[in-house]
């Protein structure tokens, strides 16, 4: 099958989605579509340069980034031409879910969804905020209570992206390599799980998605392996 994978700006489910699509490449060809927020988050989690393992660059195995597409998103027109068997948006932020639920198509992923539905291409959405509480993986940060503000800050010195300044990590520079964790003698740098409560409005928008023709809500990335 020929699949299209759209990535939004969610960190939750991002690593899981990457692993699922890496496995799907054993059986399918995949085009990857990345929103502007997705580009930033992929870098924060150290996955930006790994996308070539999913989409190697050949025709229908390209990586299309919103920052390079312009506001008309011309590559989304492929969904009207029957080039793809399915579009999967994973992970899908609550913002993207809301836009899809109410017909807004102003990003590369949401425009792809709109064109896919118009072209009769099945769309599968993996929301990060469905119901209840969510355990989400956060990018690296410096715990201000543990940081001793060392004059000779080793994490700042060894960071290959110069992302650590004033004892803070600038996430738009961070490549998610984790080198800083190993050298901080006070163990002040960490990422990891955080418990978040799903808002009522986000749960309602997911329920709206379930009622739309051509769109199926998928509970978690691993479920895609059964579908494809």
- Residue 170 to residue 44: CA distance in whole angstroms: 10
Are 78 and 87 in contact by the 8 Å Cβ rule? The answer is no
Sign of CA dihedral 120, 121, 122, 125: negative
Which pLDDT score, from 0 to 100, does residue 61 have? 97
pLDDT at position 192: 60
Task: Centre a 10 Å sphere on the Cβ of residue 193 and count the other Cβ atoms it contains.
Answer: 11
Residues 139, 16: Cα–Cα separation, whole Å:
15
Cβ(31)–Cβ(112) below 8 Å: no
Distance CA 72, CA 111 (A): 9
Question: Each residue's pLDDT tens digit in the chain (228 positions)?
Answer: 999 999 999 999 999 999 999 999 999 999 999 999 999 999 888 899 999 999 999 999 999 999 998 888 999 999 999 999 999 999 999 999 999 999 999 999 999 999 999 999 999 999 998 876 766 666 778 888 888 899 899 888 888 888 888 888 887 788 778 888 888 988 888 776 667 788 899 999 999 999 999 999 999 999 999 999
d(C-alpha 70, C-alpha 221), whole Å: 29
Q: Could you tell me the domains of the chain?
A: 2-131+199-227 (3.40.50.1950), 133-196 (3.30.70.20)
Helix, strand, coil content of the chain in percent (nearest 5): 35, 25, 40
**What pTM was estimated for this model as a whole?**
0.81
Q: 161 CB contacts (<8 Å, ≥6 apart)?
A: 173, 174, 175
């Amino acid at each position: 099958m020929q699949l299209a994978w759209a990535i939004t700006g969610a960190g939750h489910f991002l690593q899981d989605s990457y692993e699922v699509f890496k496995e799907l490449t054993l059986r399918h060809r995949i085009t990857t579509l990345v929103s502007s927020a997705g580009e930033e988050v992929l870098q924060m989690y150290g996955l930006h340069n790994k996308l070539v393992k999913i989409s190697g660059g050949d025709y229908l195995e390209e990586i299309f980034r919103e920052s390079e597409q312009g506001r008309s998103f011309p590559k989304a027109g492929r969904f009207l031409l029957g080039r793809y068997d399915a579009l999967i948006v994973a992970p899908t932020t609550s913002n993207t879910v809301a836009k899809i639920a109410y017909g807004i198509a102003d990003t590369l992923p949401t425009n792809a969804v709109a064109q896919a539905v118009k072209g009769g291409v099945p769309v599968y959405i993996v929301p990060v905020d469905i119901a209840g509480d969510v355990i989400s993986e956060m990018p690296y940060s410096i715990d201000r209570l543990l940081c001793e503000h060392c004059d000779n800050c080793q994490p700042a010195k060894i960071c290959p992206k110069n992302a650590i300044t004033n004892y803070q990590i600038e996430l738009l520079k961070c490549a998610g390599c984790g080198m800083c964790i190993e050298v901080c003698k006070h163990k002040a740098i960490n990422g990891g799980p955080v418990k978040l409560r799903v808002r009522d409005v986000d749960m309602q928008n997911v329920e709206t998605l379930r009622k739309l023709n051509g769109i199926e809500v998928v509970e978690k990335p691993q479920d895609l392996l059964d579908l494809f």
